[in-house]
Amino acid sequence: MNILLDYFFKITSIEPTAAASTAFLKQAAIVVKPNGGGTAGNITLCTSSSAIEAITDNEDAVELLNAGMSKIYVIQSATLDIETVINANASLFYTLLISSDFVDADITDDLEVGTYKGVIGVSSTSKTFLDGQAATELRSPWFTKSANGAKNMAFAFGKLLSNAGNWANQQYVTMPYGDDVNTLGDADDLFDRRISFVIEDSQYGKRLGFFVVGGKAIISPYIEKNLKVDMQSSALTYISANQPQTTPKHASLIEDELEEVIELYKTRGWIEEGTVAITVEDSNFVAAGAINISEPSAFWKINAQLLKTL
């Protein structure tokens, strides 16, 4: 063993903390009632339609795969009191869809998700019910017709989550089913209510007319969560590798690291602007900042007036 170099110049290596994974943001779970092959209270990772059909008769879940997802989590439950299974598995996904196995009253009266803070998608034929859901944070309300259940909702989320490496609003993508929104009055009404829907057009067919969560563009909570995780991961990696002291100088260096993350998000077009400031208070690093997330152009549509000249 050559000890001269170590004797002369001893170097201790520091392994930085690995970057945090954001894969869970691209994963979804859907709640269904089990058939003879499913077990109430279970959550099952499914990668094929046959795997889904083995545990439920509900047809909504398959649309997530049809839209491009390679795997989904299927929660089998007779009711929407799913707090236990959600709390045990909330780190696996950031999107929770309620299938058409459950009616409006189930969602209003029985939905229990514990500490889960991700996006929840619900569908209904009742605009009145959906109005209340539209006013709920992180809730994505979907207008449907009874025969379609939550199929269009599942397909739209499948398109969103299977879009590898990017967050896009899926504006006007082709959809598999029509929900009888085929007049301008109906479309404008759902838009004003901030309810997601599919619009049917004689020339362009069935298109995603609006995709929203909590009154905001659907990508908003995903980008916000993605940015939080990336900034936390960046700061943790820097601190574990450099062991900084809690001084203004080192606070500035950490701030530089986080600003690089914000600039990356701006380059991708995910946010319009972003600021972050790191200060030292009571021997702790304290972060503060704000971001402006890009909305779809004119928030999905443009209202214009054509002025005729004499």
- Quick one: average pLDDT of 111-118? 94
Q: Provide the 3-class DSSP secondary structure of residue 149.
A: coil
- Nearest alpha-carbon partner for 254 in 277, 226, 224, 274: 277
Q: Where is 4: in which H helix or E strand?
A: helix 4-8
What do you get for the CA distance between the two ends of the chain, in Å? 95
In the prediction, which pLDDT does 176 show?
96
DSSP type of residue 162: T
What are the domain boundaries of the chain? 23-218, 221-293
Q: Is the dihedral of CA 58, 64, 68, 72 positive or negative?
A: negative
In one-letter notation, the amino acid at residue 261 is: V
pTM of the model: 0.88
Is it the case that residue 303 has pLDDT exceeding 80? no
Place of tokens 């997330």: 293
- Nearest alpha-carbon partner for 260 in 245, 246, 274, 272: 274
- Quick one: average pLDDT of 58-69? 97
- Quick one: average pLDDT of 7-25? 76
Is it the case that residue 115 has pLDDT exceeding 80? yes
Is it the case that residue 174 has pLDDT exceeding 80? yes
For the stretch 125-171, pLDDT in tens is 999 999 999 999 999 999 999 999 999 999 999 999 998 778 989 98
Is it the case that residue 310 has pLDDT exceeding 60? no
Residue 102 near residue 59, CB atoms below 8 Å:
no
266, HSE (Cβ side, Cα atoms, 13 Å)? 12
152/258 Cα distance (integer angstroms): 38
For the stretch 238-262, pLDDT in tens is 888 888 888 889 889 989 999 999 9
Place of tokens 């309620």: 98
Strands (E), 15-155: 28-32, 43-46, 72-76, 95-98, 119-124, 139-143
